[in-house]
Amino acid sequence: MTPAGRASAAIEVLTDLGARKRPASEALKDWGSAHRFAGSGDRAAIGSLVFDCLRQRASLGAAMEDDGPRALVLRALVSAWGMSADSVDRLFDGSRFAPEPLTEVERAGLTRVLSPDVPAWVRGDYPEWLEDSFAAVFGEDAVAEGAALSVRAPVDLRVNTLKANRDKVLKALARFTPQPTAYGRHGLRIAPRQGSARTPHVEADAAHGKGWSRGPGRGAQIAAAMTGAGPREQVIDLCAGAGGKTLALAAAMANTGQLYAYDANRMRLRPIFDRLRRAAPATCRCWRAGSTRGSRPEGRMDRVVIDAPCTGSGTWRRRPDAKWRLTPDMLSGRMADQVAVLARARDLVKPGGRLTYITCSVLPGENREQVDSFLERHPEFALKPWREVWEEAIEADAPASADGSDETLLMTPRSHGTDGFFVATLERQA
Ligand SMILES: C[S@@+](CC[C@H](N)C(=O)[O-])C[C@H]1O[C@@H](n2cnc3c(N)ncnc32)[C@H](O)[C@@H]1O
């Protein structure tokens, strides 16, 4: 396909998304099935353009004074892909497969500079109804934090230290120019590509899964380490899902003690059974929803980990369509789930034990406000300042929390180069 044909396709996919209100990945998949002639490079470029339009939908639309699919694609080619206004003008020439030529109004939009009077939510590309939440957490940095959540994310890899070391993997993947990550000895990062350049398909490399694998992002690794789980402990991962954090906990416990993985959703837990039995056969017990298989965990756990159900606002770089689909009702629903999980966790922690509350959200209602109301209901718990926890768990200097807090940690793409993650450590005093 020609670059102009790809632009037409992106407009088509965005039009379908607007009409049918569904995830971008589904719309792209359907487009691919209906256009079998498109090669993998075409699909990747079309997908990248659609996602770039969604990441910066508000600011692109404001610059064009039009937030329709064609206007978004036009402006994304300039603002996100770095094309000149003239080359975009030449691309849209109305020839076969190319979009119609530009109007004068569109031409003006390609070079319009956004006025500083444009509201923060538009410049920072987050939903208007979250303006107060962003201002409450980030203050004057709201626009910059929102903008950093509106660009492509890097690829994070984890070196398998049993089979390789970081230098070997750096050499093996040299063509992707990976860099060692900050805050850890076993991580590598491949910077996001720009424009139509494809995200490196690292899974296709022969050494994938042996010397290294695509890891949970750096933020998730830090959050797992900050649980402080260690050998011979009784630990429960209360929202285990497919087991991302559980595997990290099992490794930290060195196959000793007891690690329980629980999830309210039986289907989500399914992949975990085999993964954990292979990784930590002696340590791990899995509980399905509604069953604790005769164990009596109440008041016995050294560590309770809540990787809470949340809006995922910290992952908007990877799921930009989710940010515009999020509604106040969905946020309230997640917050009610969080209250329920916290209530369950409270009964499990032993006196002197620790509850780690984690979200991949930057919204205060899911983070600090949730923790504060838990502490009001349960004065037997106290917050442990996050720097103390960081220093016990992570071999790198602690960067400031993105919201300036000394008690809880908020990581963000802008402040830490991670997805958005919130970590609070609550110790049970009695
Ligand atoms: C953020 S996901 C967990 C991701 C997982 N820990 C990982 O690292 O891959 C949140 C999980 O919480 C589960 N969940 C929701 N409400 C729950 C509840 N009341 N009790 C336990 N789990 C719950 C959901 O089914 C979902 O799997």
| 12-26, 35-49, 410-424: which is most confident | 410-424
Q: In ligand 1, which atom is closest to the CA atom of 242?
A: 9
- Catalytic residue list contains 239: no
User: Mind listing the pLDDT tens digit for each residue in 158-186?
Assistant: 776 666 788 888 888 888 888 888 766 67
Q: What is the pLDDT of residue 299?
A: 87
Question: Which residue owns the Cα nearest ligand 1 atom 11?
Answer: 239
- pLDDT-above-90 percentage for the chain: 65
Task: State whether 233 and 349 are in the same domain.
Answer: yes
Pocket test residue of 214, 237, 239, 422 for ligand 1, highest count of atoms within 8 A of CB: 239
- Give the model confidence (pLDDT) of 368-402 as tens digits: 999 999 999 999 999 999 999 999 998 888 899 99
Whether 286 and 263 have beta carbons less than 8 Å apart is answered as: no
Same domain, 268 and 410: yes
Q: Report the pLDDT value the prediction gives residue 310, as an integer from 0 to 100.
A: 98
Catalytic residue among 284, 286, 310, 360: 360
Contacts of 363 (CB under 8 A, 6+ apart): 130, 133, 137, 311, 313, 331
How much is the pLDDT for 288? 61
The CATH number of whichever domain residue 159 belongs to comes to 3.30.70
Ligand 1 pocket test: pick from 227, 238, 259, 263 the residue with the most ligand atoms within 8 Å of its Cβ.
263
What confidence score (pLDDT) does residue 383 get?
98
Parent domain of 135: 119-148
pLDDT > 80? residue 67 = yes
The domain tally of the chain equals: 4
My answer on whether 17 and 129 are in the same domain is no
Atom 9 (ligand 1): residue with closest C-alpha?
Answer: 244
Binding site, annotated residues for S-adenosyl-L-methionine = 263, 307
Among 110-119, 167-176, 282-291, top mean pLDDT goes to: 110-119
Predicted local confidence at residue 291, as pLDDT: 63
3-state secondary structure the chain: CCHHHHHHHHHHHHHHHHHHCCCHHHHHHHHHHHCCCCCHHHHHHHHHHHHHHHHCHHHHHHHHCCCCHHHHHHHHHHHCCCCCHHHHHHHCCCCCCCCCCCCHHHHHHHHCCCCCCCCHHHHCCCCHHHHHHHHHHHHHHHHHHHHHCCCCCCEEEEECCCCCCHHHHHHHCHHHCCEECCCCCCEEEECCCCCCCCCCCHHHCCCECCCEEECCCHHHHHHHHCCCCCCCCEEEECCCCCCHHHHHHHHHCCCCCEEEEECCCHHHHCCHHHHHHHHCCCCEEEECCCCCCCCCCCCCEEEEEEECCCCCHHHCCCCHHHHHHCCHHHHHHHHHHHHHHHHHHHHHEEEEEEEEEEECCCCCCCCHHHHHHHHHHCCCEEEECHHHHHHHHCCCCCCCCCCCCCCCEEECHHHHCCCCEEEEEEEECC
Nearest CA to ligand 1 atom 4: 241
Residues touching ligand 1 (Cβ under 6 Å) are 238-242, 244-245, 263-265, 268, 307, 309, 337, 340-341
Question: Of 174, 192, 215, which one is at a domain's C-terminal end?
Answer: 215
The number of the ligand 1 atom at minimal distance from the alpha carbon of 269 is 27
What is the reported pLDDT for 164?
73
Going by pLDDT thresholds of 50, 70 and 90, the confidence category of residue 142 is very high
The pLDDT mean for the chain works out to 90
Same domain, 258 and 319: yes
Protein residue closest via CA to atom 17 of ligand 1: 264
Which residue has its alpha carbon closest to ligand 1 atom 25? 265
Q: Which of 148, 164, 189 is the last residue of a domain?
A: 148
Residue 348, pLDDT score: 95
**Rounded alpha-carbon distances, angstroms, from residue 409 to 224, 253, 379:** 13, 24, 21
Judgement on whether residues 340 and 285 belong to the same structural domain of the protein: yes
Distance 210 CA to ligand 1 centre (A): 28
| Pair 29, 75 in one domain | yes
Please give the number of the atom of ligand 1 that sits closest to the Cα of 289.
Answer: 21
Q: What pLDDT sits at residue 245?
A: 87
294-330 confidence digits (pLDDT tens)? 677 888 999 999 999 999 999 999 999 999 999 999 9
CA of 238 to the centre of ligand 1 (A): 7
* Domain endpoint, select from 148, 169, 196: 148
Do 225 and 330 fall within a single domain? yes
**Are 288 and 399 in the same domain?**
yes
Lowest mean pLDDT across 165-179, 180-194, 245-259: 180-194
Sheet containing strand 212-214, strands side by side: 179-180, 187-190, 155-159, 212-214
- Using the mean position of ligand 1's atoms as its centre, give its distance from the Cα of residue 108 in Å: 47
Does pLDDT of 15 surpass 90?
yes
